[in-house]
Structure 1
Amino acid sequence: MFGNKPKPAPKSKSTKIDTLIGQNSELHGDVIFSGGLHVDGVIKGNVYAESDSGSILSVSERGLIEGEVRVPNIILNGSVNGDVHAADHIELAENAKVTGNVYYKLIEMVRGAEVNGNLVHRGDKTQDFLPGPNHDTSADKKGDEENS
């Protein structure tokens, strides 16, 4: 009665999902997106989004990405075989498995998550995350070696 104010709804970390790769789908080739991408299926290729776009990638426990990931915000509960670059934030949930290096600005990691590679903190100085099809990755690797 008195003092019983309704509690505000909790703020959700999720964003609107614009693209869905379904559980029974397998995509071959690079994916370039903006907004929200949710993966329940398999992507055999790289996944890119602009570093300043605020885009978010979520991978369910059934999802698998075989390739490099360069997305500002990532919620991973599935598997990635390749390096993961999160310009802003990455959340590694209980079933997350990364076989490759994880480059991050802010990281959350739950018990049970697995990283078979290095965890590398990146400061405010980040590289462009959308290299495009003609991008020369040798310059990125040289920059990574200098930052080590």
Structure 2
Amino acid sequence: MDADKKNNTSGSVITSDMTITGDVLFKGSLRVDGQIDGSIQGEQLFLGSNGMLDSDINVDTFNCQGSLQGNVTATHIVVEKTARIMGTIEAKDLDMAPEAVFTGVMKIGSIPDPERKNESPARSKKTETASINTKISLESSVFEGLIAALSGGSSLIMIISDDKHERNSLCDTLRDHFVPNSPTVILDKPTGSFKEIMMSIASGYGIELTDCLEQEAMVKDLSLAMDDPARFLLIVNNVETMYPATLERMLRYFAGDENGNKPLVRLVLCGGYELKKMMLPGQSRFFVRDPDCTLEL
């Protein structure tokens, strides 16, 4: 079924053989097992495992088992293990299964403006991973969302906060959560040369370098020792203080790239406004690929 007009639905199901093109406005609950290409506004939205949305969503609660490309604003969001989301999540509470796949920006802990419920959300065909200016508190749901992203396969995560104490606390909490099951290194002062950074990383993981003069040899030693990227976690705080060339090399070697080079570790980059500016359009020359997840505190 195709529709180019608003669809008012109450306690309804969009079955797997249905496709809706246009904005959807509903009351009560709506289950989607088919496809919607258009903005969605309502109360309780459930996306089944076979459902597909290319939508900007503004609802009270959202339970996602299927695929979403777009932005979602809700008081409570549940992301099940079969879910695939590319976009921006804004919610007061978030429950995300470790197996779920999420790429984009999280704003957790903020309360959506009730006035927005009366407006049709603006459509956005492409969701930017640029940072968001709203500051949110460091609540358990924020940490749980970050853990879910790391456990779900995200290998490059960016955390933006102008509060250094908040960043330091989050880095320490991450380390305490993963140690001892996952070797974890925190670089708080990444201001040295690339060789110095590599030596600090090797020392933190207890890896012996056979050659500390040649960069390629150092990378090879680390690659051989870090045979399972999912086991190792590298947290770099105050990223904006790094030399640009050092940051570029570290990302190229550790984060993988779009040419098929695999990451060596799960890499978490933490920084303030300067790091945020690096990711603005035209300024991201240091990043060999987009982050899997950007979390702004």
8 Å contact 2:39–2:120 — kept in the other structure? no
Query: How far off its partner does 1:37 sit?
Result: 0.2
Q: More helix per residue: 1 or 2?
A: 2
Distance in 2, Cα, partners of 1:125 & 1:35: 19
State the AA in 1 paired with 2:21: H
Distance in 2, Cα, partners of 1:145 & 1:27: 30
Distance in 2, Cα, partners of 1:123 & 1:145: 12
Most deviating of 118-127 and 31-40:
118-127
8 Å contact 1:40–1:63 — kept in the other structure? yes
- What is the CA RMSD across the aligned residues, in angstroms? 2.3
Task: Indicate the residue corresponding to 2:60 in structure 1.
Answer: 72
Match of 2:41 among 17, 39, 48: 48
8 Å contact 2:91–2:111 — kept in the other structure? no
Query: How far off its partner does 1:98 sit?
Result: 1.0
State the AA in 2 paired with 1:27: I
Query: How far off its partner does 1:97 sit?
Result: 1.1
Runs of 4+ in 1 over 4 A off after TM superposition: none
Q: How has the CA–CA distance of structure 1 residues 129 and 106 changed in structure 2, closer, same or farther, with 3 Å as cutoff?
A: same
State the AA in 2 paired with 1:74: F
Query: How far off its partner does 1:117 sit?
Result: 0.2
Unpaired runs of at least 5, structure 1: 1-16, 50-54, 138-143
TM-score normalised by structure 2 residue count: 0.37
8 Å contact 1:92–1:109 — kept in the other structure? yes
Distance in 2, Cα, partners of 1:78 & 1:93: 8
Q: More strand per residue: 1 or 2?
A: 1
Query: How far off its partner does 1:35 sit?
Result: 0.3
Match of 2:13 among 1, 20, 43: 20
8 Å contact 1:28–1:44 — kept in the other structure? yes
Match of 1:110 among 94, 97, 121: 97
Structure possessing the higher radius of gyration over alpha carbons: 2
Q: How has the CA–CA distance of structure 1 residues 125 and 116 changed in structure 2, closer, same or farther, with 3 Å as cutoff?
A: closer
2:68 partner SS? strand
8 Å contact 1:70–1:130 — kept in the other structure? no
Equivalent residue runs for 1:76-91 within 5 Å: 76-86=64-74, 88-91=75-78
Distance in 2, Cα, partners of 1:82 & 1:124: 19
Unpaired runs of at least 5, structure 2: 1-9, 125-130, 136-297
Q: Percent identity?
A: 25
Query: How far off its partner does 1:90 sit?
Result: 0.3
TM-score normalised by structure 1 residue count: 0.72
